[in-house]
Amino acid sequence: MSGVKEDRMLIAQRATRWTGLLALTLAALSVTGSVLAQEKAKGAVITLQKGGEIRIEFFPEDAPKTVENFVKLASQGFYDGQLFHRVEPGFVVQTGDPQSKTLKPGDPKLGTGGPGYTIKAEFNKRPHERGVVAMARTSDPDSAGSQFYMTVAPVNFLDGKYAVFGKVVGGKVAVDSIKVGDRIASIKITK
């Protein structure tokens, strides 16, 4: 009898070990698949609720983790329905605060929300030309999360202080026409 009991214990231990290895392998494949999908992302198309599209090209060589974060959030529908809470003529239009799905334009809380985490800054040498897409942040360099802005004019005094991760390659007229309260219908990642 004790031999049967030992055999059962040995089988249970092996099953537990194999289950653990299988779980680790599946987790590694999931992360690898996610990273590969994000590496293949070339850009995005932002569709505005009022009509119009903005096409963005990514700079993964300059801001890989920032691009990865944006792709992840956009792929989850995080930005869908959000509004542009900040519009500064001759400067930037900004969005990415999830609170904007429920708060009204002009609410003082707008611009303070994020995804619940922050990412490390990836400042780079890309100049802030018209049409640059970069991550917004607080005075803490590593405080970016989901909010991003698009420049409507050159703003070179921001160079090297924000993570530039893309540029507008189509729809600059749509960017120029954005008003506070305009909403994003969707952001689709392009391969």
Q: In this predicted model, what pLDDT tens digit does every residue of 91-150 receive, in sequence order? A: 999 999 999 999 999 999 999 999 999 999 999 999 999 999 999 999 999 999 999 999
Q: What is the DSSP letter of 162?
A: S
Query: From start to end of the chain, where are the E strands?
Result: 43-48, 53-58, 86-88, 92-95, 132-135, 148-151, 164-170, 184-190
pLDDT of residue 40: 83
pLDDT of residue 30: 46
Give the pLDDT band of residue 31 (cuts 50, 70, 90).
very low
Q: What percent of the chain is helix, strand and coil (3-state, nearest 5)? A: 35, 25, 45
The pLDDT tens digits for 144-173 are 999 999 999 999 999 999 999 999 999 999
Q: What angle do CA 12, 18, 21 make, to 5 degrees?
A: 145
Q: Do 36 and 46 share a domain, yes or no?
A: no
Q: Do 102 and 149 share a domain, yes or no?
A: yes
Number of domains composing the chain = 2
Q: Do 100 and 12 share a domain, yes or no?
A: no
Q: Do 107 and 186 share a domain, yes or no?
A: yes
pLDDT of residue 9: 58
> Is the pLDDT higher at 29 or at 83?
83
Q: Do 122 and 153 share a domain, yes or no?
A: yes
Side-chain half-sphere CA neighbours of 173 within 13 A: 2
DSSP string of 109-127, one letter each residue: TTTS--SS--B-----S--
pLDDT of residue 2: 59
Q: Do 63 and 130 share a domain, yes or no?
A: yes
User: What's the CA gap between 21 and 26, in Å, rounded?
Assistant: 9
Predicted confidence (pLDDT) at residue 3 exceeds the cutoff of 90: no
Its pTM stands at 0.80
Q: Do 106 and 157 share a domain, yes or no?
A: yes
Find the domain containing 94 and state its range.
42-190
Average pLDDT over the chain reads 88
Predicted confidence (pLDDT) at residue 34 exceeds the cutoff of 50: no
CATH code (residue 134): 2.40.100.10
Q: Do 168 and 82 share a domain, yes or no?
A: yes
Q: Do 65 and 153 share a domain, yes or no?
A: yes
Q: Do 93 and 137 share a domain, yes or no?
A: yes
pLDDT of residue 32: 45
Q: Do 109 and 20 share a domain, yes or no?
A: no
Q: Do 108 and 77 share a domain, yes or no?
A: yes
Predicted confidence (pLDDT) at residue 62 exceeds the cutoff of 60: yes
